Amino acid sequence: MSNKELRIALAGNPNSGKTTLFNALTGSNQFVGNWPGVTVEKKEGKMKGRDGIIVVDLPGVYSLSPYTLEEVVARNYLVDERPDAILNIVDGTNLERNLYLTTQLIDLGIPTVVAINMADVVRKKGDHIDFDGLSKALGCKVVEISALKEEGIDDAVEACIEATLKAAESKKHLPMHSFSGAVEHALAHIEEVTVHNLPAEQQRWYAIKLFERDTKVLDALKLSDETIAHIEEDIKACEAELDDDAESIIINDRYEYITRVVRKCVKKKNASKLSTSDKIDRIVTNRFLALPIFAVIMFLVYYISVSTVGAWVTDWTNDGLFGDGWHIAGSDEYDAALDSYGNEMLFENTELKDIILSANENGVLGAEELNIAFADKDYGAFTEAYGSYGEKLAAEGFSVAEIVDPVLEGEPSPADYGTWVPGVPALFDKLLLDENGEPVVAEWLYSLIQDGIVAGVGAVLGFIPQLLVLFIFLAFLEACGYMSRIAFMMDRIFRNFGLSGKSFIPILIGTGCGVPGIMASRTIENQNDRRMTVITTTFIPCSAKLPIIALISSALFGGAWWVAPSAYFMGIAAILISGIMLKKTKAFSGEPTPFVMELPAYHMPTLGAIMRSMWERASSFIKKAGTVILLSTIVIWLGSKLGNTGDGFGFALDMELENSILGYIGGAVSWLFAPLGFDSIKAAIATLMGLLAKEEVVGVFGVLDFEGMSALEGYSFLAFNLLCAPCFAAMGAIRREMNSAKWTAFAITYQCVFAYAVSLMIYQVGMAFSGGLNIVGLVCAILVAALIVFMLVKRPYKAKNN
């Protein structure tokens, strides 16, 4: 063993805890999801603390039949590469179903150790498993583990090594399970005729598979027609005797054997009583309650993450850490000083009052906010509204800059009150400015650092608290078992429209990042359904889109409770509507993929597991901000300073955005977005840069200032950016999964057109209701809505020969 690496394969049913055990054994941090199908490919890792042991995590399978992708991956590895030992993870709460695979693994002739996972849950239920009895009945070592709590794992690995060494010595395989006489007779014949030249321990599995007429094995063994005809006689004789087909005979025989073993080795305390999980499921997956419960849960997740807990901390990171700074003590004194300064310098000014009132009467964007803040004598709200809409007012001939700007310049410094901690920009100021407030470096460099990098990267990083809260919720929902219920529930809804619930698992994964979500679609066997899932997966808001939602929600809707949850439900609706529409077309028609899944028992996840999952996602976000986003902000800053200076092409710090390179690029495409309400150069640039990484939408506004959008325009902008083509990385994943340039182009085009249609409807209908009716725009929006309704109700495509 010292010269050779020992390979231990982890095999088991989906969601039995293989990846959790793999992580515990190897110390790696592979993604663990409490729903089936999380692992599709096998993964290898060196065992921590033990040299020479390689652990291979196989996808979860119910059997070794080569029907699904997971089964093919697991079976090919076990049969072709033959690991030294198999550690079969068995869910102790569901022995009957799990042992079916165990009997097949044992037949492979590879030393196998059965690890009963979740034994603590079994004990808690009051059930008793006779491990020795089970070991004798199965003919292999049986150990008890808790992968989650990392208990019993060393014993399981020791048992694996022991079993491997024993098998290496004896080279003999004795199956404990015998089929009925007729089957054993046929198997003996098949072994003798076809596989007698194979190693003894492999003969039985091949014989069983030949008996089952497994086409993959028939192809692999390259048997002559004569031999096949010969064994076919044996199989047919057995089928006639037992009055069933060969595959069913083997399946029934295995289950009868398992029932006998379980009856002998497991004592159930309350066999007929419903478990706690079953009781919860009676409510959570109830036909009528499931959807409202799901809506309430996801509403709370997004509301709490974006509008409450997350927003409170984000306000501090945006205004404090990446803003001017924050008070540890003395903020009340400062607020009082600011209020009295505002009263004295601003709110007594009748000229200012008249201009704002007049602007408000003329319906100038932002004047209402300024007017309310003025009437309330709220200095903070007034300066914020001025920052957002000051230029808009000036452009409409209601400039208040001459009155307000000097007041802003002379306002009391927060650093003079209480204990003040400067923010990151202030720290950079300390490094880059001299005592007179002049930069010690060239002005362009100061601007690049402060207005470009710090503002851009800071704008993105400022949303981390909201992301952390969202990640905690998502990790909890995944780990406790609720996410599986969503897929189950969605299957019920999807199936009514000819769609498969299997499409929903990639979408659940896509909530973190669209790329693995798109990759996960490969578990869908039906090509049409797979393509449809690839197209629709990125409609669900990924974590990179959360900052856009949070920005629009806080800046334009004052953190309204409904904005963030509506973005999530918009994604779900887009998936459902697109799915139904696409399914009606010839290219996507057909029966939906069958979806069978086991609902795992609910369990309380450990704090460590949730924190690990949260950190895994958050650290990636931070790394991205420090790399792609940082470089992008430099490019944005440079693009906004290079352009037509009046004397030709050149660099100017005070370059008007319209004259810069960015201005030309944004201006060239901004007209496209005019019917959607956001035809400004900044919004166009933000949308384009979002293709690089969706966080960059917020980064662009950090560098170029976010201003001048109405709430309706902002929501339309949000809808378009949530639903349009994803980032380049996700587009690459679409390209890989589609494996066709034509289909990739269709997917991207469909996403953009769909996003455009949704934004158009939101903006034009919204305008009609808010008094800004545009007849042409509204007619277009109604036509688009009518087309969507037509596609939804139209009869599905049916092939002529059907």
Partner 1 sequence: MDWIIENGATIAVSAVLLVIVGLIVFKMVRDKRRGKGGCGCGCGGCAMADICHGKNAKNEK
Backbone angles phi, psi at 134, to 5 degrees: -65, -40
Nearer to partner 1 by Cβ, of 450 and 500: the residue is: 450
Nearest to 551 by CA among 460, 430, 631: 460
Question: Cβ of 769: how many Cβ atoms within 10 Å?
Answer: 9
Q: Which is nearer to partner 1, 652 or 729 (CB)?
A: 729
- The mark string for 388-427 relative to partner 1 (x by CB under 8 A, - otherwise) is ----------------------------------------
* Piece of 34-42, 167-175, 206-214, 376-384 that binds partner 1 (CB under 8 A): 34-42
Q: Which is nearer to partner 1, 142 or 479 (CB)?
A: 479
Q: Which is nearer to partner 1, 651 or 728 (CB)?
A: 728
Segment 422-481, which members bind partner 1 (CB under 8 A)? 432, 440-442, 445, 448-449
Nearer to partner 1, 358 or 619 (CB): 619
- β partners of residue 325: 422
If one asks whether residue 30 binds partner 1 (CB under 8 A), the answer comes out as yes
Using CB under 8 A as the binding rule, the residues of this chain from 632 to 671 that contact partner 1 are: 634
Structure-block tokens of residue 505: 């698992």
Q: According to CB under 8 A, which one of 153, 313, 519, 698 is a site residue for partner 1?
A: 519
| Integer Cα distance of 85 and 112 in angstroms | 6
**Residue 617 Cβ, how far from partner 1 at the closest point, in Å?**
6
Q: What are phi and psi of 362, to 5 degrees?
A: -85, 5
**Residue 61 engages partner 1 in binding (rule: CB under 8 A):** no
Q: Is 586 helix (H, G, I), strand (E, B) or coil?
A: helix
Which of residues 58 and 90 has its CB atom nearest to partner 1 in the complex? 58
Nearest to partner 1 of 19, 98 (CB atom): 19
Phi-psi sector, 646: left (phi>0), alpha (psi -120 to 50), beta: left
For residue 149 the two structure tokens come to 């709590």
In angstroms, what is the minimal distance from the CB of 23 to partner 1? Answer: 10
Instruction: Look up tokens 């066997």; give the residue.
Output: 525
Q: Give yes or no for residue 31 binding partner 1 (CB under 8 A).
A: yes
Beta carbon nearer to partner 1, 40 or 198: 40
Contact 56, 9 (CB under 8 A): yes
Spatial contact of 428 and 422, defined as CB atoms under 8 Å apart: no
Interface pick for partner 1 out of 340, 619, 740, 770 (rule CB under 8 A): 619
Binding segment toward partner 1, per CB under 8 A, in 317-325, 388-396, 615-623, 791-799? 615-623
* DSSP of 741-768: HHHHHHHHHHHHHHHHHHHHHHHHHHHH
What is residue 413's DSSP assignment? P
81 binds partner 1 (CB under 8 A): no
Q: Which residues contact 635 (CB under 8 A, 6 or more apart)?
A: none
Q: Find the part of the chain contacting partner 1 (CB under 8 A) among 478-486, 613-621, 636-644, 670-678.
A: 613-621
Instruction: Please select the residue that binds partner 1; options are 94, 349, 585, 620, rule is CB under 8 A.
Output: 620
The Cα–Cα gap between 200 and 236 comes to 25
Using CB under 8 A as the binding rule, whether residue 46 contacts partner 1 is answered as no
- The CB-of-153 to partner 1 minimum distance in angstroms stands at 21
Q: Are 356 and 446 in contact (CB under 8 A)?
A: no
CA distances from 700 to 424, 510, 664, 686 (A): 19, 24, 16, 6
What CA–CA distance (Å, rounded) separates 658 from 393? 18
* Cβ-contact 725, 706 below 8 angstroms: no
> Is residue 611 near partner 1 by the rule CB under 8 A?
no
Among 623, 658, 668, 740, binds partner 1 (CB under 8 A): 623
Angle 420-426-429 (CA atoms, 0-180°, nearest 5)? Answer: 140
Contact assessment for residue 34 and residue 483, using Cβ atoms and an 8 Å cutoff: yes
In the list 14, 16, 21, 42, the residue contacting partner 1 (rule: CB under 8 A) is 42
Among 19, 104, 528, 764, binds partner 1 (CB under 8 A): 19
Our CB check for partner 1 shows the closer of 543 and 721 to be 543
Tell me the C-alpha to C-alpha distance, in Å, between residue 500 and each of 540, 655, 796: 17, 54, 15
Per rule CB under 8 A, is residue 587 in the interface with partner 1? Answer: no
Burial class (CB in 10 A: 0-12, 13-18, 19+), 589: middle
State which of residues 38, 461, 580, 788 lies at the interface with partner 1 (CB under 8 A): 38
319, 355 contact by CB (below 8 A): no
- Within 679-698, the residues that bind partner 1 by CB under 8 A are 693
Total of residues contacting partner 1 (CB under 8 A):
49
Instruction: Find, among 506, 502, 526, 525, the residue nearest to 516 by Cα.
Output: 506
> How far out from the chain centre does Cα 400 lie?
46
Judged by beta carbon, residue 168 or residue 631, the one nearer partner 1 is 631
Closest to partner 1 by CB, 515 vs 684, is: 515
Of residues 401, 631, 653, 786, which one binds partner 1 by CB under 8 A? 631
From 133, 498, 516, 590, residue interacting with partner 1 (rule: CB under 8 A): 516
Applying CB under 8 A, does 125 fall inside the site for partner 1?
Answer: no
| Structure token digits, residue 591 | 């029966």
Q: CB-wise, 152 or 517, nearer to partner 1? A: 517
Minimum separation from the CB atom of position 307 to partner 1 (A): 24
- Considering only CA atoms, which of 265, 311, 275 is closest in space to residue 547? 311
Using the rule CB under 8 A, give the single segment among 338-346, 354-362, 630-638, 660-668 that binds partner 1. Answer: 630-638
Integer CA distances (angstroms), 88 to 15, 70, 201, 280, in order: 13, 16, 18, 29
* 733 belongs to the binding site for partner 1 (CB under 8 A): yes
Q: Which of 83, 458, 512, 699 binds partner 1 (CB under 8 A)?
A: 512
Q: Which residues contact 328 (CB under 8 A, 6 or more apart)?
A: 418, 419, 420, 421
**Shortest separation between residue 628's beta carbon and partner 1, angstroms:** 6
In 570-706, beta strands by DSSP E = 642-644, 649-651
User: Judged by CB under 8 A, does residue 616 bind partner 1?
Assistant: yes
Q: Taking contact as CB under 8 A, which single stretch among the options 176-184, 413-421, 622-630, 647-655 is the one that binds partner 1?
A: 622-630
Using rule CB under 8 A, residue 627 touches partner 1: yes
Among 730, 760, 762, 788, contact with partner 1 (rule: CB under 8 A): 730
Q: Which stretch binds partner 1 (CB under 8 A): 106-114, 169-177, 298-306, 519-527?
A: 519-527
CA distance 671 to 13: 54
Q: Which of 309, 736, 784, 796 binds partner 1 (CB under 8 A)?
A: 736
> What does the block give as tokens for 202?
């492999």
Report the residue number, 216 or 736, with the smaller CB distance to partner 1: 736
In the complex, least distance from residue 182 CB atom to partner 1, rounded to whole angstroms: 43
Beta-ladder partners of 143: 115
Among 148, 345, 515, 700, binds partner 1 (CB under 8 A): 515
Instruction: Name every residue whose Cβ is closer than 8 Å to that of residue 389 and which is 6 or more positions away in sequence.
Output: 365, 366, 367, 369, 370, 707, 708
Residue closer to partner 1 (CB basis): 439 or 796: 439
Candidates 195, 231, 542, 762; binder of partner 1 (CB under 8 A) is 542
* H-run or E-run covering 115: strand 112-117
User: Which residues contact partner 1 (rule: CB under 8 A)?
Assistant: 19, 29-31, 33, 38-43, 432, 440-442, 445, 448-449, 509, 512-516, 519-520, 522, 542-544, 616-617, 619-620, 623-624, 626-628, 630-631, 634, 693, 728-730, 732-733, 736
